[in-house]
Structure 1
Amino acid sequence: MSQRLEAAIADKSAVVGVIGLGYVGLPLINAFVNAGFKTMGFDVDQQKVDMLKAKKSYIKTIPSEQIAHWIDEDRCEPTADMSRLSEADALLICVPTPLSDSRDPDLQYIVKTAEAIAATLRKDQLVVLESTTYPSTTRDVLLPILEKTSLKSGEDFFLAYSPEREDPGNPDFTAAGIPKVVGGMDPVSGKLASDLYSHAIVKIVTVNTPEVAEACKILENTYRAVNIALVNELKTLFDRMNIDIWDVVDAAKTKPFGFQAFYPGPGLGGHCIPIDPFYLTWLARKQGLNTRFIELAGEVNSRMPEYVISRLYEFLNDAGKPIKGSKILLLGVAYKKDVDDPRESPAFVLIDLLRSRGAELTYNDPHVPRLPPMRHHDVPDLASQELTSEFLAAQDCVLIATDHSAYDYDFIVKHAQMVLDTRNATKNVTEGRDKIYKA
């Protein structure tokens, strides 16, 4: 055990460095600042660093006032200088882990971060990977890079895995309020990581290995993906039978045991659920196995945007209109309600499909003022349009992709010609229900 590091963690004099200042990294910094630690925030994006230094936030869940508090009280130092990684006693890695075009794990950000850490790694540093990944990444990818130095894990430096758990837009669960699973490469690393997180997080759940912690996160998100696929598939069946899937789920969830409610939608979004199950299927193929159940769920969920467009085609056709040339207003491009995060949002698949079919597309999202560039989509340069009565009336269809609370659905339905609702957002609208269609 490193007595110096143990003591620094105990008296909160340890400097906590967070690598990756995005939707995971910033809330984590907030948790440690609130716990009384001095932090450093590392990111290769100089624009993010400059905004934080200017006391401006680029993430809705962390207001600019909070950033100002960090900077004014000297509790956080943002930097893009990776040569300063040695100044932190603990380094928490929160970088993206996307999929490649062939749906294989893309670990380039983890590898580059590990190489940057190795270049400055010193004795008595704790390194914790938080990025979601497949089991064995910490041991097989991160550890060898760090041990290319003359330092040895468990003796000179310490290594652990602790998966991020975030629910953006949910005020009931902050980074500090969600139990933290921690798996050390060895018992000493596990204890140091657990001791550190225990100051900032409500509860620590210690497991024996990094692989258990890595698999835990994959299981959590695969569980959600599979159950969402089930209700999405049932939705397509019940639509044909003129049965409302939302009414079915509401009835089923009255059972006090053995059932958890999941809801259909236009597809999966966010940085975890659409991606993590494919990490597991890739790992299974390496082991010579097929995860047919998980792969089927992925297929069902990935088909949902096409299903929405087929329903749009059907309803427009009944009105004597083709999709080509029709004015379609997309409501919401964030991946879930009341957040400003567009990552992996099914709205961008809908945008691709609508544009390829010749629709005249506009959008509105109170949290996303302009469409951002996306890795796998040809995104048009569009700004969010104001929802005036005249603008709504001029659209052939208003397609609700994200059910933000800010929307006045009574007003929208009143002035729209047709509303295609993929989120059951209009369930409480009483007037104009003949204009509402479900997809």
Structure 2
Amino acid sequence: MNDLAIVGLGYVGLPLGLQFANKDCQVLGLDIDPEKVDAINAGKSYIHHISSESIAKQVDSGRFKASTDFSLIAEAAAVVICVPSPLNKNREPDISYILMTGEAIAPHLQPGMLVVLESTTYPGTTDEDLRQVLEKGSGLTAGEDFHLAFSPEREDPGNPDSKVAIIPKVVGGLTPSCLKKATELYSRAVQQVVPVSSCRAAEATKLLENIFRSINIALVNELKVVYEAMGIDVWEVIEAAKTKPFGYMPFYPGPGLGGHCIPIDPFYLTWKAREYGQATRFIELAGEINTSMPQHVVRKVADALNLDKKPINGSKILLVGLAYKANVDDDRESPGYLLLEMLKEAGADVAFYDPYIPVIRPTREHAHWAGTQSIGFDKKTIASFDAAIIATAHANVNYKQLADWSHLIIDTRNAMSGIETKTKVVKA
């Protein structure tokens, strides 16, 4: 008998499963990707910030195993769903992965079992959409025959201080009994559980967290452009402002938003709010500002090249950093892809360098880039480009060498701050 089964062994499900196993729970990891399953059972990691040693330790102990066989769910006391929840091509919520997972779970649900959704989504997904699928496929009633809850993931890849055990876990249940069961489960693995009144309150909590970030990033992105027109460096202003010990927290501008949360989650609420006749003007304005940043960067590239009497058309341009944030191998929703697309459409000869992404993996959104390899980081290769755009500031990139070898740098992350160089550096 397994204490829990975790469906989806990606950036959320894998670290969660390892943490439960570390607390002496019997964990079954389920995924439709046999390569992930085989890697885990062999004690090998496919996520950069998760070590193979940490996986091998739990697999060898017998506390963690992986499978593609969903019928094994019947042997678990609880099921935690950690699958993607993207937007479709019309920028509308796509909960198909959640519902398909529910359909796969339902035939194996047993009385007394707990099902928890962790995928970010709009309020009502758990107690309406997922509940309907589970009840229809199992013949059981949520809140009576089995327990149902929502607990938003709070992963922060690349942040060494982000550990599953110490991040408070918000939990909302369909009924008080469901909440009690879910609280008991997570209390086995995390130090603090924060119960809320309902699944919807828990779903809304996750959305608030990411909407807060999206709006504040949009603010500094807008101020970046405004201050630049005034001859003011927004990065200097932010550094000064964050010395205030109250009433302020720093957010930083960039070439656009990336990752599985901030570019996506706010629009889950925007979409759902329309059902209630409510407008979400702040969210939509923030989205407009953030999605305009790649165009701003391309304009800066064009202006900088023009000063050297070079057009974008025909120029060789290098993107430094394709991951959506520093020090991770996660390229989901990365603005780097938009930059590559826009520059290529303008006639540039584009390439990328990223020590965390040696080759672009197949994705739905950027399938035509699949198989493209990162260039080598050496003087001859770097010097062959007319311009380099720092899109992601990985800590293990030698920016002094990049500066010495490059003809022109467009810095969207303030990575060149404090580095002396004769190479022209343009902030964007």
TM-score over 0.5 for the pair: yes
2:341 aligned residue: 352
Q: Which amino acid aligns with 1:424?
A: N
1:420 aligned residue: 410
Unpaired stretches in structure 1, ≥5 consecutive residues: 1-12
The two structures have a TM-score, normalised by structure 2, of: 0.97
Greater shift, 266-275 or 118-127, is seen at 118-127
1:400 aligned residue: 390
Deviations 1:106-157 (A, max 9, x none): 0100100111111111112110000000011101101112222332222321
Q: Which amino acid aligns with 2:80?
A: L
Report the Cα distance in structure 1 between the residues aligned to 2:103 and 2:61, rounded to whole angstroms. 31
Deviations 1:153-186 (A, max 9, x none): 2232111000000000001111122100000111
Residue 316 (structure 1) aligned to one of 290, 305, 319: 305
Report the count of equivalent residues: 426
Kindly state the Cα deviation for residue 380 of structure 1 after the two structures are TM-superposed.
5.7
Report the Cα distance in structure 1 between the residues aligned to 2:355 and 2:73, rounded to whole angstroms. 37
Deviations 1:332-382 (A, max 9, x none): 100000000000110011111111111111111111000122322342642
Q: Which amino acid aligns with 2:415?
A: A
Report the Cα distance in structure 1 between the residues aligned to 2:393 and 2:238, rounded to whole angstroms. 18
Kindly state the Cα deviation for residue 428 of structure 1 after the two structures are TM-superposed.
1.9
1:100 aligned residue: 88
Q: Secondary structure at the match of 1:142?
A: helix
Residue 189 (structure 1) aligned to one of 178, 182, 192: 178
Deviations 1:238-263 (A, max 9, x none): 12222111011111111111111100
Residue 262 (structure 2) aligned to one of 253, 273, 287: 273
Q: Which amino acid aligns with 2:323?
A: A
In the alignment, structure 1 residue 387 sits paired with structure 2 residue 387: no
Deviations 1:9-49 (A, max 9, x none): xxxx7521100000000010111011110100001111111
Residue 424 (structure 2) aligned to one of 422, 430, 435: 435
Where does 1:279-298 land on structure 2 (aligned, <5 Å)?
Answer: 279-298=268-287
Kindly state the Cα deviation for residue 86 of structure 1 after the two structures are TM-superposed.
1.0
Where does 1:183-332 land on structure 2 (aligned, <5 Å)?
Answer: 183-332=172-321
Q: Which amino acid aligns with 1:22?
A: G
Unpaired stretches in structure 2, ≥5 consecutive residues: none
1:177 aligned residue: 166
Q: Secondary structure at the match of 1:200?
A: coil
Q: Is the 8 A contact 2:105 2:134 kept in 1?
A: yes
Report the Cα distance in structure 1 between the residues aligned to 2:255 and 2:234, rounded to whole angstroms. 14
Report the Cα distance in structure 2 between the residues aligned to 1:280 and 1:155, rounded to whole angstroms. 29
Report the Cα distance in structure 2 between the residues aligned to 1:162 and 1:147, rounded to whole angstroms. 20
1:36 aligned residue: 24
Report the Cα distance in structure 2 between the residues aligned to 1:294 and 1:157, rounded to whole angstroms. 36
1:24 aligned residue: 12
Residue 63 (structure 1) aligned to one of 47, 51, 65: 51
In the alignment, structure 1 residue 81 sits paired with structure 2 residue 69: yes
Report the Cα distance in structure 2 between the residues aligned to 1:25 and 1:152, rounded to whole angstroms. 26
Report the Cα distance in structure 2 between the residues aligned to 1:42 and 1:155, rounded to whole angstroms. 26
Report the Cα distance in structure 1 between the residues aligned to 2:18 and 2:49, rounded to whole angstroms. 11
The two structures have a TM-score, normalised by structure 1, of: 0.95
Deviations 1:167-219 (A, max 9, x none): 00001111122100000111111011111101111210001100100000000
Say what the alpha-carbon RMSD is for the aligned residues.
1.2
Q: Secondary structure at the match of 1:127?
A: strand
1:340 aligned residue: 329
Q: Which amino acid aligns with 1:384?
A: S
Q: Secondary structure at the match of 1:153?
A: coil
In the alignment, structure 1 residue 374 sits paired with structure 2 residue 376: no
Structure 1 residues 380 and 83: alpha-carbon distance in aligned structure 2, compared to 1, 3 A threshold = closer
Q: Is the 8 A contact 2:363 2:370 kept in 1?
A: no
Report the Cα distance in structure 1 between the residues aligned to 2:255 and 2:9, rounded to whole angstroms. 29
Kindly state the Cα deviation for residue 84 of structure 1 after the two structures are TM-superposed.
1.6
Report the Cα distance in structure 2 between the residues aligned to 1:81 and 1:150, rounded to whole angstroms. 21
What percentage of aligned pairs have identical amino acids? 51
Greater shift, 313-322 or 48-57, is seen at 48-57
In the alignment, structure 1 residue 410 sits paired with structure 2 residue 403: no
1:46 aligned residue: 34
Q: Which amino acid aligns with 1:438?
A: K
Q: Which amino acid aligns with 1:435?
A: K
1:9 aligned residue: none
Kindly state the Cα deviation for residue 431 of structure 1 after the two structures are TM-superposed.
2.7
